[in-house]
Structure 1
Amino acid sequence: MSGYRGRFAPTPSGPLHFGSLVTALASYLDARHAGGTWLVRIEDIDPPRCPPGTDAEILRQLEAFGLHWDEEVRYQSSRHEAYQAALEQLAGQGLVYPCSCSRKEWRDYAVYPGWCRGGVRHPERPVAWRLRSDLGQRPIVWQDRLYARQCFDPAELGDVVLKRKDGLWAYQLAVVVDDGDQRINEIVRGIDLLDNTPWQCQLRQALDLPAPRYLHLPLIVADNGQKLSKQNLAPALPTDETRVRPLLHQALTTLDQVPDSSLARAPVEEQLGEAIAAWDSARLQPRRCRALPGALGQDK
């Protein structure tokens, strides 16, 4: 194994779809081509959005496509103490604050205007905890492996919530703490998360965690231009081998790789073996989105 450590971290709000497959496959191939470690993390920090059994279904789908992970699957729902410790560390640096404001109150603003930075406006209400995006290094600059130089001022994005009023942890803090703890140094994910990166960079710096490299991927969109997602009722990935084989081949093509057409019906192990050896992230095109392939899932 090389020093490469990557991961695929789905939210179990529904089964994986073709867009999920493309992301998982890219992160898997990138890790395996480098001789590295590939992990799976279940980001189940929002139980009301995570139907029971969905995590097991996701793992079955990954296995059906031959995407086998190294090390034990991590569940964020078991990580409360780690996130709380990180929040307290940030509080000790004056980088977070409690906020009682409701979304309705600041709906006329593009981002939350920071009304509680100097003290909670409504002490009688439950509070969320927000990051002081105006503190720390600004702007945040990094070199994306596909989209080149990126530069954001986090303060223009607003003070993101790290812990919700209902006591549940928000994505931004949990993902940074777990990536740091699991020593993730290569992140492959969709471009819809690109503008989350500045907050995550701020948090990493404050928590003294090393910075990973980023490779953001174009979104897969349906015929109507909508992002392919669980919320938009994207079809679930199959697990029967006759349908899995052509879908895997289509996912490789969608990633701008050049799998031989003769492999479209080949077993997943054979397709992945060829794909790992031939993987070249330089072939990826930096488009913002990619249309869902026609005849998706049909065994031609």
Structure 2
Amino acid sequence: MSTSPAGPIGVFDSGYGGLTVFKEIAKALPDYDYIYLGDNARAPYGVRSFDTVYEYTLQCVEALFKMNCSLVILACNTASAKALRSIQQRDLPRRPELRRVLGVIRPTTELLGELSQSGHVGIFATQGTVNSQSYVIETQKFFPGVQVHQEACPMWVPLVENREHQSPGADYFVKRHVEALLQQSPRIDTILLGCTHYPLLMDKIRAYTPAHIRLVPQGEIVARSLADYLQRHPEIEHLCTRGGRREFFTTEKPEDFNSRAATFLGQPVEARYLHL
């Protein structure tokens, strides 16, 4: 295997939602350099086929590799569900240099069963993630006794991306899906926000969810998992440069990305255009 050049940690998402994961990663591991890439021109991925999501995700991963990212985090549940395994098993072994791609589903499911007392966990996710059954399959590997109840919320991402998530109109769609999920089992005591956009709807979700039910966003879990991964894999860690630099790229107009990304990060962003 040839020597890999050191470079930033790459963080990829189909749009803006991965910024909620990136925010927690950068907070937990501030010394590293990062490149965030949002494929906003082709978002959302949640409604696309497995083959299309795989094709788009691989293109974006390859773009990050070309920018010397030896480690790429798919901060996107749909890409993690539909593309990660193929990239890990089919594409990475063909590369002459050391490269690693990680997702957000496995670190979440490794912890999910420990958070539930009843053994009944709910998942809010995109239609694509629900259809993939990835959360059900992965949770069963770690916690065979835990029952996973899923609810697809197709309107939630558009509400967030169009900055309507705090509007009164959003309440209808949040209440509807909360009630639909809870109807699947009265024993649900933990609900995972299985899409990186959903933390921006946290206040509304909380308002329609009984107080005893724990709501779990992914960002902090993924950040802790990444810190652990880097500690256990020094051969990857030494390829990740440290300088505290942050770069942002988008496949759409940077001006659009900058204005919306600030909603997710809570601070101004200056992105550059990337042509794929």
Provide TM-score, normalisation by structure 1. Answer: 0.30
Asked which structure has the greater CA Rg, the reply is: 1
Structure with greater proportional helix content: 2
Q: Which has the higher contact order (CA 8 A, sep 6+)?
A: 2
